[in-house]
Structure 1
Amino acid sequence: MSNKEIESLQRSLCGKYDTPYCPILEGTKLGITLNIKENINPINGLRHPPEGKTNGWYIWGGEDFSDDPNFFKSIHIEHITEWCPQIQKFLALPPGWRFLIANNYEDVWFDESLLDI
Structure 2
Amino acid sequence: MDIQDLQKEVCLKYGAPFYYSETSLKLGIAPNVKLGILPINGLRIEPEGDTVGWYIWAGEELSNEPDFFQPLHVEHIKEWIPDVEKYLGLPPGWRFLIAGDYEDVWFDESILN
TM-score range, shorter chain: over 0.9
Whole-angstrom CA distance in 1 between matches of 2:5 and 2:23: 17
- Which runs of 4 or more aligned residues in structure 1 lie more than 6 Å from their structure 2 counterparts after TM superposition? none
> Which residue, 4, 8, 18 being the options, matches 1:7?
4
Please show how residues 71-86 of structure 1 align to structure 2 within 5 Å: 71-86=68-83
Please show how residues 1-117 of structure 1 align to structure 2 within 5 Å: 4-116=1-113
Amino acid at match of 1:78: E
Q: What TM-score do the two structures reach when normalised by structure 2? A: 0.96
Query: How many residues matched?
Result: 113
Once the two structures are aligned, what percentage of the paired residues are identical? 57
Whole-angstrom CA distance in 1 between matches of 2:61 and 2:95: 15
Name the Cα RMSD after superposition.
0.9
Q: What TM-score do the two structures reach when normalised by structure 1? A: 0.93
Point out where structure 2 has 5 or more consecutive residues left out of the alignment.
none
Whole-angstrom CA distance in 1 between matches of 2:2 and 2:15: 20
Whole-angstrom CA distance in 1 between matches of 2:104 and 2:6: 16
